[in-house]
Amino acid sequence: MPCKRLRITGVVQGVGYRAWAKRLAGMLGVKGYVRNMPDGSVEMVVCAEDKLVNVMINAAKKGPAASVVKDVEVFDVDYKPEDKEFRIWV
């Protein structure tokens, strides 16, 4: 199962971004995690078939209504999800 790491910048903390990402991933059956980073960005790792990973990437560029996404960087990552669901890491 391919995984991608996303680094989302802009107004993405304190606006419900992590909860929004968890809901979307749950609806799509995507595994991985999302967490706030000390620099004000959000990191998200998504693991699923390519089509669903692309859906998550495109959605991350918009984010929830209260967010203002400036940029989404996408990186290959070697990650093996241990959980069967998408998690919010704190």
Identify whether 36 is a catalytic site residue: yes
Kindly report the number of other CB atoms within 10 A of residue 57's CB atom.
15
What's at 45, amino acid-wise? V
Choose, from 18, 23, 35, 87, the residue flagged as catalytic. 18
Choose, from 5, 7, 35, 36, the residue flagged as catalytic. 36
Identify whether 18 is a catalytic site residue: yes
Count the helix, strand and coil residues of the chain and give each as a percent rounded to the nearest 5.
25, 40, 35
Residues carrying an active site annotation: 18, 36
